[in-house]
Amino acid sequence: MTDREAGFSKIADVRRLFAEVDCDDGYALLDFGHGRRLERFGPFVLDRPAPAAKAPRLRPEIWDRADAYFDRGPRKTGKWLFARELPERWIVRLGPCRFELKLTEFGHVGMFPEQLPNWRRLTHAVRRCVEAKGTCRVLNLFAYTGGSTMACAAAGAEVVHIDAARNVVEWARRNAEHAGLADRPVRWIAEDAWKFVRRENKRGNRYDGIILDPPSYGHGPRGEVFRAKQHLDRLLEAAAALLTDEGPVFVLLTCHTPEFDTARLRACMTAAIRSSHGSSDAGKTTAGAMTIPLSDDADGSLPAGNMVMWMRPGTSAR
């Protein structure tokens, strides 16, 4: 155990129930470096792994503020070490969304701040679609805790929310309730993304927007295996085929798999649109790195994956 870890104690049952905390001041990246990141989620400061944080820390003197430290084991799971007791769950706001956060055995808490610019893009795209058509139907694949679902629903879209884990779908539904979106037209479905997309194509269902945030590796609810390096191209092509032929449409693909840089994501998107719609030239493609900027106007940002968004006329990236 390092000297840093020695300042924390392990609480065996991280699901102990303490008083809930509700906070509108949702998130700040305080510092990163030496393979870790220091973040504030509402009133609590967490010290978590960050493989992309290779540089030295800018503010080493603040790292002792952490309330909890995630110690990753030899596999993907690990344990949380605590400087003080934290609630089982707490609620914070980020952009148009409210998230119920909790400390998971994978080191995640249920919110991904690097997606905030994408939620703004989605909000703009949905509003433009609603203005043009009077409606906007969006399919969100690998939707996890529902940040993109909430952004689209708040902007006026009808959303089909797909995630393989039923407990995570319920988590996303609670987030929508916290955000005041319980009455919005959202279908919450626990299903394998590939199977659902294939069925929708067979049924002839069409969407104005498609969102994908695939994992590097994952399982469907019945043991189906997804590997981004093997299966992303075919899934994206099949998903793009679900786009309606009329009016403004969009596809947003985000990825945290290291092998998929912006050039490869752009190529994947171009190939999928050409395969399903003949050409990608009728739309505009925006691609770039996803990052999390340091708080307090500090200079620096943490790399956090890549994104590409294709939009047919009537929408534009911001």
Residue 272 lies in a domain: yes
Residue 46 belongs to domain with CATH number: 2.60.40.1180
Look at residue 50 and give its three-state secondary structure: coil
Segment 79-96 mean pLDDT: 92
User: For residue 222, what pLDDT is reported?
Assistant: 73
pLDDT per position as a tens digit, 180-219:
999 999 999 999 999 999 999 999 999 999 999 998 777 6
Let me know whether 160 and 298 are in one domain.
yes
Distance of alpha carbon 243 from alpha carbon 206, whole angstroms: 5
Amino acid at 316: S
Let me know whether 46 and 176 are in one domain.
no
Look at residue 224 and give its three-state secondary structure: coil
Segment 28-37 mean pLDDT: 96
Segment 282-308 mean pLDDT: 91
- The answer to whether 265 and 255 are in contact (CB under 8 A) is yes
Let me know whether 94 and 123 are in one domain.
no
The alpha carbon dihedral of 169, 104, 38, 99 has a sign of: positive
The token duo for 277 is 């719609």
User: For residue 21, what pLDDT is reported?
Assistant: 57
Let me know whether 87 and 215 are in one domain.
no
pLDDT band per the 50, 70, 90 thresholds, residue 315 = very low
Least-confidence region, from 74-88, 115-129, 256-270, 298-312: 74-88
Distance of alpha carbon 249 from alpha carbon 202, whole angstroms: 20
Which structural domain, as residue segments, surrounds residue 176? 113-311
Domain boundary among 72, 101, 130: 101
Q: Is the pLDDT of residue 5 over 90?
A: no
Segment 238-264 mean pLDDT: 93
* DSSP string across 162-205: EES-HHHHHHHHHHHHHTT-TTS-EEEEE--HHHHHHHHHHHT-
Residue 192 belongs to domain with CATH number: 3.40.50.150
Distance of alpha carbon 2 from alpha carbon 243, whole angstroms: 52
The top-scoring range by mean pLDDT among 18-22, 265-269, 272-276 is 265-269
N-term to C-term CA, the chain: 46
Number of domains the chain contains: 2
User: For residue 115, what pLDDT is reported?
Assistant: 95
Let me know whether 97 and 120 are in one domain.
no
Residue 240 lies in a domain: yes
Residue 107 lies in a domain: no
Residue 317 lies in a domain: no
Domain boundary among 101, 125, 159: 101
Amino acid at 203: R
Domain boundary among 46, 74, 101: 101
Distance of alpha carbon 226 from alpha carbon 216, whole angstroms: 8
Residue 316 lies in a domain: no
The token duo for 265 is 């994501």
